[in-house]
Amino acid sequence: MILGCFNQLASLVTGTDIIYECRHCGVSVDEQTLTCPECGSEEIAQYPLS
């Protein structure tokens, strides 16, 4: 259902219009996260929502 997708997106962005994601494994992280909780990479990518 579409509503499920919206809820997922809302939990990802949590009030911002930027998505933070690990460059190494692709997991979504919080804005303040500097190190990926999954793989330990410090390369966090930022994607503006368009």
Q: Kindly state whether residue 36 participates in binding Zn ion, applying the rule CB under 5 A.
A: yes
CA trace torsion 1, 38, 33, 21 (10° rounding): -50
Q: Kindly state whether residue 24 participates in binding Zn ion, applying the rule CB under 5 A.
A: yes
Please, which residue, 6 or 40, has the CB nearer to Zn ion? 40
Please, which residue, 45 or 49, has the CB nearer to Zn ion? 45
CB of 30 to Zn ion, least distance (A): 13
Which residues neighbour 13 within 8 Å (Cβ) at sequence distance 6 or greater?
19, 49
Please, which residue, 6 or 25, has the CB nearer to Zn ion? 25
Question: Both tokens of residue 39?
Answer: 């793989």
